[in-house]
Amino acid sequence: MVRVEPSQNAKAFGKIRMGLFPSRISGKIGSLLMSLSVESPILIIFDVDGTLVDAETLDHASFNHAIREITGIMMTDAMWSGFEEVTSQATIHQAFGKGRHEDLSLIKDRVRASFLAKLHLGHGQDANTIRAFSGAVDLLSGLKSSPQVGVAIATGCWRETAQFKLKAAGFDLSDIPFACASDCYTRAEIISLAAERAGMPLEQAVYVGDGLWDLRATRQLGIPFIGVGRKVEALRRAGAEHTLEVFNPETLSQVVKQLRG
């Protein structure tokens, strides 16, 4: 159930609580687009892992094992929790960029290649290890067709690995501006670049993500954040005001209307 309270200002979303995508929404995309067609443009930037793509188990195992294979070091929870910036590129720099390895660039290239190979192997063995959250493919495709809604993707993963997961999950990436850890070091920079590639001001953007690092990045940028996925309780405890338990055309339309005041 969705609860919508009046917005306090044009940049607020109200107290809306929503979450993952429902299983059947394609027939409702048209009504969403009609509800947005007379409004001013807005840019919706999506995270990938945990937001559009459900591949957490394979993704984490593949990345950690790739690092161990190349460096001999097994990543621990303590290491992960100590990182100030959580992107693929930043992780390598923070873990190995303090004199323990002479050629950081080579480490990064080898880890990326191993990571990608392990994703291919895992998905080849079980296609269910990489899949879209229910309804996400149709929703993203429908939003792409609206002249009043800009859509972009900003992910902390590398280009090759992120695009493989998206395509394996069934997403059509054509005509969707895309920014990732291959482009920038920090998540805030990645989000900003996605907006730039979409040709829209960052001030018109909202970021949809599932991690505490997503929340931090939007706070740095001063743009609205919508928390989704399996970590919404942690996001709420961290102060996220807008978390989603039902993410479909109707609730998205309500959010957008509140955003525009």
User: pLDDT 10s digit of each residue in the chain, 261 long?
Assistant: 333 333 233 233 333 333 344 334 345 555 555 555 545 788 999 999 999 999 999 999 999 999 999 999 999 888 888 888 999 999 999 988 765 555 888 999 999 999 999 999 999 999 999 999 988 888 888 888 877 789 999 999 999 999 999 999 999 999 999 999 999 999 999 999 999 999 999 999 999 999 999 999 999 999 999 888 889 899 999 999 888 776 666 666 676 666 666
- The angle that helices 56-71 and 104-125 make with each other, rounded to 10 degrees, is 140
pLDDT tens by residue, 168-196? 999 999 999 999 999 999 999 999 999 99
Q: How many CB atoms lie within 10 A of CB 162?
A: 25
Residue 33 is predicted with a pLDDT of 55
pLDDT tens by residue, 234-252? 999 999 988 877 666 666 6
Name the token pair of 34: 């009609």
Residue 183 is predicted with a pLDDT of 97
Residue 129 is predicted with a pLDDT of 98
- Work out whether strand 205-209 and strand 42-46 pair parallel, antiparallel, or are unpaired: parallel
Closest CA to 118 of 71, 153, 67: 67
